[in-house]
Amino acid sequence: MSNPDAATPRERYRAQVREEIKKHAWEQIAAAGASALSLNAIAKQIGMSGPALYRYFASRDELITELITDAYRSLADTFRARAAAGADLGDLAHTLRAWALDDPQRYFLLYGTPVPGYRAPEDTTRTAAQIMAVLLDACPDEEPPGTPPSPPSPLQSHLGRHRAWAEQHPAPPAALHRALTFWTRLHGVLSLELAGHFTGMGFDPARLYTAEAQTITGQ
């Protein structure tokens, strides 16, 4: 995030303009998706003419990259805030859906079709890891009641041996499995819903979502 109260007034002005550019960029993205983002149109809306924007963002890709990192931070912050308020996995599932429905194109910017040439900077991967850490923190230590005490599945022992993504976290293999499943199952329902694949099918996607969430939280 650009520091709004920086030392020199020059930097303050610069941060302010950058923030206004990003504001209009988000409006365009929310309206027509990231692929329809036009630097020219943003410049016109602000009142500048075309190439002036390149004083603030080196390229269209750099602007989009910054929007992506901001979106990641937004999701991580809301997750952390909810977790700090004592949210469990079920609450976080609801939080995720609300965050996605609040701006579907922002969700697609993070978890939708990747831009072929795009390479995620180290910053965003670290934020993504923080999101997973919040999930791992929220995973209960014991299995849900009603689950027979079973030996770790082949997948869980695999996850226990290949846990580069949770190196900093002491979560047991079952928690790794549960956090991954939380992510993939909810993303499965959510992305298909946001993409409109359920429209016309008749049922309520929210019910399917909560049902999937319950398979993770253990009813």
The binder of 60, among DNA, a second copy, none, by C-beta within 5 to 8 A per type, is: DNA
Give the CA radius of gyration of the chain.
20
Burial class, 97, CB count within 10 angstroms (exposed 0-12 / middle 13-18 / buried 19+): buried
Nearer to DNA, 29 or 37 (CB): 37
Binders in 34-73 for DNA, by CB under 7 A: 37-41, 43, 47-52, 54-56, 58-61
Secondary structure of 11-75 in HEC code, one letter for each residue: HHHHHHHHHHHHHHHHHHHHHHCHHHCCHHHHHHHHCCCHHHHHHCCCCHHHHHHHHHHHHHHHH
**Cα gap 197→144, rounded to integer Å:** 32
- CB of 19 or CB of 204, closer to a second copy: 204
Interface contacts to a second copy, rule CB under 8 A:
31-33, 35-36, 105, 108, 111-117, 120, 125, 128, 153-155, 158-159, 162-165, 177, 180-181, 183-189, 191-192, 195-197, 200-204, 207-208, 210-212
Which of DNA, a second copy, none has residue 158 at its interface (CB below 5 to 8 Å by kind)? a second copy
Closest approach, Cβ 20 to a second copy, in A, equals 23
